[in-house]
A and B are shown apart, each in its own frame.
Chain A
Amino acid sequence: MSDMPLTGREAAPDRSRPVPFRGGGFKPVRVRYLGAVVIVALIALIEWGTRTGVISNLTLPRPSDVLGTFRDLWVSGLLWDHLLPSLSRLAVGSALGVSAGIAVGVMIGLFSLARAGLVPLVAAIFPIPKIALLPLFVIWFGIDEGSKYALIAFGTFTPTVVSTYGAVDNVDRTLIRMGQSFGLTWWSIVRKIVLPGALPGILSGLRISLSIGIILLVAAEMLGARYGIGAYILEAGSLYDLERLFAGVVILSALGVLTSAAIGWAERRLLGWRV
């Protein structure tokens, strides 16, 4: 043991080696534009496949034809004939569902009575496929816009309730304690501490609720709609017109991206205070 070297410098050179690095991975690195590249490459592949016949025209439409269909929609003005009714259904329906959902969610978050009474009810109606209730809504609210608003409102209501009361539950209790210690009124505490504190949770819940709203748009337009993106997609499906089908689906996707971007914008505007 006596001849054991004491410092690294004295160690035999052949026995010194760097400590292996073990800390990599598990950390998302931001890679720009890769998402767009993947999408573009996939579209190019499909275009090539449909042109050469590797992909039969029964399987997928040619992306350039979809683009052509989209241009026709734009030029003929049909795009707006379909888009505007859908947007107004989505706006009215989800505005009703989301505002009722936030109101009920806040009530559940604040009042033990509301929590005890409503949480089981919400849990019971959450998993109901809202599409199954469409015929019922037609009887209740009529085959025109009423049943479509109701379906989207109902579909966006339950996820909003759940995310809202979760968000209220997660508001920092020390802030509420602080409000009480300064003698703030109950209403002030709700308005100035609970609601702003719950806003991040409510907004991220909104992402899910509005996506569900877009999904339900197609379902809502199953019954009695001649115009609307959902009706357009259903019609294209029944006519087995793949170009129109995909054009409609692309519009829905764009709608989803736009809503998500709008919420992202709202988050940046309203939640700039977050660390």
Chain B
Amino acid sequence: MEDQMLNRTIAPAFQPINKLAIHEPESFEYANGLKAFVFQSPELELIKFEFVFENHFDTHELTLMNTALSAMFKEGTSSRTSGQIADEIDFLGAYLMPEYSFDHTSLTLYTMHKHVAQVLPIVSDILQHSIFPQKELDTYVRNNKQSLEISLKKNDFIARRLFYQNVFGDNRYGAVPSPEAFDAITRESLLKLYNKQIQPSNCTLFVAGNVTKDVLAIVDSIFGQQWENTYSDRDKDLFVLGEVKSQIITDFKAESLQSAIRIGGHSINREHPDFPALQFVNTLFGGFFGSRLMRNIREDKGYTYSIGSAAVSLQHAGFFTIASEVGVDVTQATMDEIEKEFKLLGNELAEEDEIALVRNYMQGVLLGSLESIFSHADKYKAVYYSGMDLSYYDYYADVMNAMDPLKVQEIAHKYFDYDKMVKVVVGQLN
């Protein structure tokens, strides 16, 4: 029994947050160049297989080829129609999801352990024998042109597009879709890219879940032995980052009730030693519900439903971005407040209390992000593609612990210069 009257004004004592313990995977390398990382969680009935391919760009970078390649993967092989692939996968209760990001194209399979032997041969077929039927390509192009038309009615979509174009310029990160670019995709060019890119020597496989011996044997046989490289002289592709001109770009929309705002610019990526500290300052500034931007612009002024910022790490670059949608009548006021917050971040030292809160919050969220074995694989993947290993997370923890008001200010001076950023407003800036 609790005998004392409860004093509800005093917070219960709290404990330090435990450090992250990420499973080290088993790794395999096959003769065909395929690399595999295996994350074990025997109690799970599900398994995830993620085949990740590095993107290659050999023609003009503004094409949508890699996006189309990923979307068209499962639309037919030399022995299966698009419909047959869909039926077989769905019948087994599996999920087969092609994904595309700036740097990678991947094919992810989630399946129940009991169906692995039936479902992996379908994936193997897709990785080796896709034929990209013209009819399916026509459907893809038709539907994507239509959904692009709809997206172009959304201010946040237009703002994001203008932002990427102006921050990255004429390369893969700055490329945005257009109806003409969809029309320019041909079956031949897709096949060419597929033959070049979807090869075991360009693939890393991440397997997580109940990866039993028999599952490993299937992987070894289908993907390690039977999958042959049919393309080898892949060049290391060159990436040129565009210049960023600090400017305000506006796109006036007379009918809009809200304006979409994007502010940001180039930044560092995970390989840079400052990256964890940058993530810290980003979180404090705009990266969570208790951030300065959110507290000021939503919770104090009520100008928006949401405002947030992010520090994003890509293979060849990094960028910082702020995004919000705000009432047209308060768009200028919001821009002013954002600018004020930048100045404050650089000019005044943050309080220790605020730093402690952000640190604990980030440690808690990181701990909570390790939900299942799949998240262990994701964490590993993130550092792997930055050329690092799991010791990065120890370094990350050390940086978190060492953050203090001076360090926050130093990072602010280095990476949070409002005057150098691109500002995009789609809607009305009065």
The answer to whether A binds B is no
B-to-A contact residues, CB < 8 Å:
none
A-to-B contact residues, CB < 8 Å:
none
